[in-house]
Amino acid sequence: MTHVVVVGAGQAGASAVARLRAKGFDGDITLIGEESHPPYQRPPLSKAYLLGELDRDRLYLRPESFYDENNITLKLGAPVSAIDPAAKTVTVGDETLSYDDLVLTTGSHPRRLPASIGGDLDGVLVVRGLANVDAMAPRFVTGSKVLIVGGGYIGLEAAAVAAKRGLDVTLVEMADRILQRVAAPETSAFFRQLHKTNGVDLREGVGLDHLIGENGAVTGAVLSDGTSLDVDFVLVGVGIEPDMRLAEAAGLRIENGIATDAFGRTSDPHIWAAGDCASFPWKDQQLRLESVGNAIDQAECVADNILGAETPYQAKPWFWSDQYDVKLQIAGLSTGYDHVVVRTGDGSVSHWYFDGDTLIAIDAMNDPRAYMVGKRLIDAGKSPDPKVVGDPDTDLKALLKA
Ligand code: FAD
């Protein structure tokens, strides 16, 4: 019987195994995860779950019974320690499992602060998994002082939760502006204002110099401008690294993650990769995306290709972020834009990114209609006239018919 082994029981791993069964694969499937939970969604960890507004069961992507019912062997709390591509086996604890096809969906891990600046002190935390968030929850008490290092989406979402819970929040971003890596100045300005209005002490162009500890626990911080702060705990949101340890040790090609071809195959024809850990050919580079949409679509594409479809992966990037009462929805990739058109509506605003005449991305704040229209246009490779987009009287849906 053919055996597909999937290493990494997260968003991509769960999507791959479900797709294999949905497409009629009747061989053996084993999904192996090092965490002790069945596959769950991470986005609420820095949003509703951290806020205490979502039960843990609602995080699970599928009820645990799904795996049994679909004859999928789920091994949890089981880190895979090695792959032997020549023998086509993986090692889990004392066990050696043979595979016909192996899918790596090992995700990513958050960058940490170096120990030399206090990164190893108690109370210096990251938001990545359920275990991290459950451990930090008791610290979210009114009046507690939190320093958030990094003004990307996770740092900003954590700041919004902390501010809503009545903590005293300082956020430092070393770059000139928050969201600099991923968004236009217009979007940064929108979220800067939102956080300031909600009482966050947001400092841009200021990094962390070092943390101060007493008896092994963080008590203070010195910033790059020399300012000192008292802190009760620190949340670090300075980006992630793809988890490529197994792939590297197995000698697979690495380029901005585990390098795959257009079909999701790595440099070994029986090993595939998808999700945060995997890069794929895009324009003239190996692109890696860090989003739920990519994890699902890429994993499903890999599952189809294991079954012989030979379908190239066509990324249709989308993302979202919730902060206070604002829902941000993003479609496309803004890299390479040369101008942004701002469209304002009733309590909503959207930023449309153009490269010349080509629409490449949209950020929609509380504007699901602009998001939906922008996404459909981008996916279809259509570009509306920027002047028409910016005119608040334009009926957006009409753009789809043009
Ligand atoms: P993961 O979901 O991280 O799963 C990888 C799994 O592999 C992990 O459980 C890991 O423990 C396991 N693993 C690794 N190595 C091994 C091994 N050797 N053996 C066994 N198991 C192993 N995306 C959005 O689109 N929108 C959002 O709003 C959003 N918010 C986010 C908020 C937070 C706090 C975080 C952390 C992420 C957020 N993301 C968001 C990103 C999104 O969650 C990830 O892109 C997505 O989870 C990637 O899926 P994945 O399957 O590649 O990795």
Domain harbouring 356, CATH code: 3.30.390.30
The answer as to whether 319 is a domain residue is no
The answer as to whether 300 is a domain residue is yes
Q: What is the 43 CA–ligand 1 centroid distance (Å)?
A: 9
Per the structure, the complete domain to which residue 178 belongs is given by 112-238
Q: What is the 105 CA–ligand 1 centroid distance (Å)?
A: 9
Same domain, 129 and 97: no
Q: What is the 10 CA–ligand 1 centroid distance (Å)?
A: 6
Eight-state DSSP code of residue 152: S
Same domain, 233 and 247: no
Q: Which atom of ligand 1 is nearest to the CA of 274?
A: 52
From 291, 318, 319, give the residue whose CB has the most ligand 1 atoms within 8 Å, as the site to mutate. Answer: 291
Same domain, 120 and 28: no
Question: What element of type H or E holds 20?
Answer: helix 11-22
Q: What is the 324 CA–ligand 1 centroid distance (Å)?
A: 23
Same domain, 90 and 118: no
Q: What is the 197 CA–ligand 1 centroid distance (Å)?
A: 31
Residues 249, 83: contact at Cβ < 8 Å? yes
From 5, 6, 7, 11, give the residue whose CB has the most ligand 1 atoms within 8 Å, as the site to mutate. Answer: 11
Residue nearest to atom 14 of ligand 1 (CA): 106
Eight-state DSSP code of residue 122: B
Q: What is the 215 CA–ligand 1 centroid distance (Å)?
A: 33
- Which of 207, 238, 269 is the last residue in one of the domains? 238
Residue matched to tokens 């995860």: 33
DSSP-based three-state secondary structure for 274: coil
Residue nearest to atom 23 of ligand 1 (CA): 291
Same domain, 226 and 183: yes
Q: What is the 121 CA–ligand 1 centroid distance (Å)?
A: 25
Same domain, 146 and 201: yes
252 vs 84: CA distance, rounded Å = 11
- Which of 218, 238, 258 is the last residue in one of the domains? 238
Q: What is the 49 CA–ligand 1 centroid distance (Å)?
A: 16
From 50, 106, 127, 329, give the residue whose CB has the most ligand 1 atoms within 8 Å, as the site to mutate. Answer: 106
Neighbours of 24 (CB within 10 A): 7
Residues 324, 198: contact at Cβ < 8 Å? yes
Q: Which atom of ligand 1 is nearest to the CA of 42?
A: 43
The answer as to whether 280 is a domain residue is yes
Q: What is the 218 CA–ligand 1 centroid distance (Å)?
A: 27
- As beta bridge partners, residue 124 has 234
Residues 210, 118: contact at Cβ < 8 Å? yes
CA neighbor of 150 nearest in space, from 120, 179, 129: 179
Q: What is the 276 CA–ligand 1 centroid distance (Å)?
A: 7
- Which of 238, 265, 297 is the last residue in one of the domains? 238
Same domain, 43 and 95: yes
Pocket of ligand 1 (CB under 6 A): 7-13, 32-35, 42-43, 45-46, 79-80, 105-107, 127-128, 154, 243, 246, 275-277, 290-293, 295, 319-321
Q: What is the 107 CA–ligand 1 centroid distance (Å)?
A: 5
Distance of CA 364 to the CA centre of its chain: 18
Residue nearest to atom 36 of ligand 1 (CA): 128
From 49, 99, 276, 326, give the residue whose CB has the most ligand 1 atoms within 8 Å, as the site to mutate. Answer: 276
49 vs 225: CA distance, rounded Å = 34
CA neighbor of 45 nearest in space, from 158, 148, 162: 158
The answer as to whether 65 is a domain residue is yes
CA neighbor of 162 nearest in space, from 289, 324, 34, 40: 324
Token pair belonging to 314: 């066509």
pLDDT at 345: 86
Residues 161, 136: contact at Cβ < 8 Å? no
Tell me the pLDDT of the chain (402 aa) as tens digits: 899 999 999 999 999 999 999 999 999 999 999 999 999 999 999 999 999 999 999 999 999 999 999 999 999 999 999 999 999 999 999 999 999 999 999 999 999 999 999 999 999 999 999 999 999 999 999 999 999 999 999 999 999 999 999 999 999 999 999 999 999 999 999 999 999 999 999 999 999 999 999 999 999 999 999 999 999 999 999 999 999 999 999 999 999 999 999 999 999 999 999 999 999 999 899 999 999 999 999 999 999 999 999 999 999 999 999 999 999 999 999 999 999 999 998 889 999 999 999 999 999 999 999 999 999 999 999 999 999 999 988 988 888 887
Domain count, the chain: 3
260 vs 257: CA distance, rounded Å = 9
Same domain, 295 and 191: no
pLDDT at 183: 97
pLDDT at 397: 87
Residues ≥6 apart with Cβ < 8 Å to 94? none
Same domain, 164 and 17: no
Token pair belonging to 76: 């949890």
Same domain, 105 and 116: no
Widest distance between CA atoms in the chain: 66
The answer as to whether 374 is a domain residue is yes
Same domain, 232 and 295: no
Task: Give the CATH number for residue 197.
Answer: 3.50.50.60
Same domain, 174 and 276: no
N residues, the chain: 402
Q: Which atom of ligand 1 is nearest to the CA of 11?
A: 51
